[in-house]
C-alpha cells in the first residue's frame, strides 16, 4: 500500500508554530542580552561616579556636566580657588539663603523636606527642601531639571558625599562650581566679573547679592540688581548675621 503524499495544509501549522517559537526565543534572548548589558553598564557607571566622589574629596573640579551643557557660543568663566580665598561673608550668606541647617544634617535635611511637602500640599508657595549638599551633588555629577530618577540619584549622592567629604569641603566645592549666570561658574569668576574684585574681598553686601540670585542666576541680575534682588539681599544680610551670631557656620568657618 502506497502512503499518500504529505498534506501541505497539515504541515503548515506545525511549521508556523516552530517559527513562532524560534522567533519568541530569539526575542527573549535579545532582551536578556540588553538587560545584561544595561546592568553591567549601570554597575560600571555606579562605580565610576563613586570613584570620582573619592577623587573630588581632595582634587579641584575643573569641569562639570552643567558647564558642558551650556548653550553653544556661551563663554565659560571658571576659576577654582581654595576656600581660604573666598570671603566668609559669602559662606554665611549662602548658608542663610540656601541651607541654615547645613552643619546639622547628614546631606539631606528631612525636617526641611517635610516642611516643604506640608507647605506645598497646603497650597502655599511651591518650594523645595534641597540642601547645599544635594545641590553640590547635582552640580558635580548630574544635570539641571526635574525627574524622579535625577532626584533619587541626587539624594543618594548627597548622602554619599556627606559621608566621605567634610562639610568644609562640600562648601568649597559648592562655591567653586555654582553658576552665577552668563556662563560664570564659581565665586572667584562671579566676584571678578560682577564686582571687579576677588572672592576674598567680597563685602557683606556683595555676598548677599550673589547669594540672592542663586535660585535663578540666569533670570535675576546682580549688576544692576532689580528691586526684588535688592530686597532679598537686604534680608540675607540680616540672616547672615544670625548665622554668624548663632554659629550656624561652625562646620565651615573655624
Distance CA 49, CA 59 (A): 15
- Are 20 and 76 contained in the same domain? no
- Are 13 and 129 contained in the same domain? no
Distance CA 124, CA 99 (A): 20
- Are 34 and 145 contained in the same domain? no
How many structural domains are present in the chain? 2
Q: What is the mean pLDDT of the chain?
A: 85
In a domain, 118, yes or no: yes
- Are 126 and 240 contained in the same domain? yes
The mean-pLDDT minimum among 3-7, 210-214, 245-249 falls in: 3-7
Q: How far is CA 181 from CA 18, 226, 232, in A?
A: 63, 15, 18
* SS3 label, residue 78: strand
Which residue among 55, 78, 98 closes a domain? 55
The mean-pLDDT minimum among 76-80, 123-127, 160-164 falls in: 123-127
- Are 72 and 25 contained in the same domain? no
Is the pLDDT reported for residue 126 higher than 50? no
pLDDT tens digits, residue range 24-67? 666 667 766 776 665 676 566 667 778 888 899 999 998 888 88
In a domain, 254, yes or no: no
Distance CA 116, CA 181 (A): 26
- Are 229 and 120 contained in the same domain? yes
Q: Containing domain of residue 205, as a range?
A: 63-245
In a domain, 250, yes or no: no
Which residue among 11, 27, 55 closes a domain? 55
Q: Residue 184: beta bridge partners?
A: 77
Which residue among 55, 75, 97 closes a domain? 55
Distance CA 219, CA 232 (A): 14
pLDDT tens digits, residue range 192-225? 999 999 999 999 999 999 999 998 898 998 888 9
Residue-level pLDDT at 111:
84
For the entire predicted model, the pTM comes to 0.81
Residue-level pLDDT at 133:
97
Largest CA-CA distance found in the chain, in angstroms, rounded: 111
Distance CA 38, CA 57 (A): 29
- Cell 549601570 identifies what position? 42
What value does the CA radius of gyration of the chain take, rounded to a whole number of Å?
Answer: 27
pLDDT classification of 178: cutoffs 50, 70, 90: very high
- Are 79 and 128 contained in the same domain? yes
pLDDT classification of 82: cutoffs 50, 70, 90: very high
Q: Cβ neighbours of residue 187 under 8 Å, at least 6 residues apart?
A: 81, 86, 90, 175, 176, 178, 199, 202, 210
176, 59 contact by CB (below 8 A): no
- Are 36 and 149 contained in the same domain? no
Give the number of other CB atoms < 10 A from CB of residue 95. 27
Distance CA 54, CA 51 (A): 5
Amino acid at each position: 500500500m502506497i502512503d499518500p503524499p504529505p498534506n501541505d495544509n497539515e504541515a503548515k501549522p506545525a511549521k508556523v508554530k516552530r517559527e513562532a517559537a524560534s522567533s519568541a526565543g530569539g526575542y527573549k534572548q535579545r532582551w536578556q542580552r540588553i538587560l545584561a548589558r544595561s546592568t553591567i553598564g549601570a554597575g560600571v557607571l555606579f562605580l565610576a561616579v563613586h570613584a570620582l566622589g573619592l577623587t573630588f574629596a581632595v582634587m579641584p573640579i575643573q569641569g562639570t556636566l552643567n558647564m558642558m551643557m551650556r548653550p553653544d557660543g556661551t563663554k565659560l568663566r571658571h576659576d577654582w580657588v581654595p576656600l581660604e580665598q573666598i570671603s566668609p561673608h559669602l559662606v554665611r550668606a549662602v548658608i542663610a539663603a540656601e541651607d541654615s541647617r547645613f552643619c546639622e544634617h547628614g546631606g539631606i535635611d528631612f525636617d526641611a523636606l517635610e516642611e516643604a511637602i506640608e507647605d506645598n500640599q497646603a497650597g502655599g508657595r511651591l518650594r523645595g527642601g534641597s540642601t547645599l549638599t544635594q545641590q553640590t551633588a547635582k552640580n558635580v555629577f548630574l544635570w539641571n531639571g526635574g525627574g524622579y530618577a535625577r532626584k533619587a540619584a541626587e539624594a543618594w549622592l548627597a548622602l554619599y558625599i556627606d559621608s566621605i567629604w567634610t562639610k568644609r569641603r562640600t562648601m568649597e566645592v559648592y562655591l567653586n562650581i555654582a553658576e552665577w549666570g552668563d556662563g560664570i561658574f564659581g565665586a572667584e569668576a562671579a566676584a571678578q566679573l560682577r564686582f571687579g574684585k576677588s572672592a576674598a574681598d567680597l563685602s557683606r553686601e556683595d555676598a548677599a547679592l550673589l547669594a540672592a540670585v542663586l535660585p535663578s542666576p540666569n533670570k535675576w541680575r546682580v549688576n544692576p540688581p532689580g528691586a526684588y534682588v535688592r530686597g532679598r539681599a537686604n534680608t540675607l544680610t540680616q540672616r547672615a548675621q544670625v548665622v554668624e551670631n548663632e554659629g550656624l557656620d561652625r562646620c565651615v568657618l573655624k
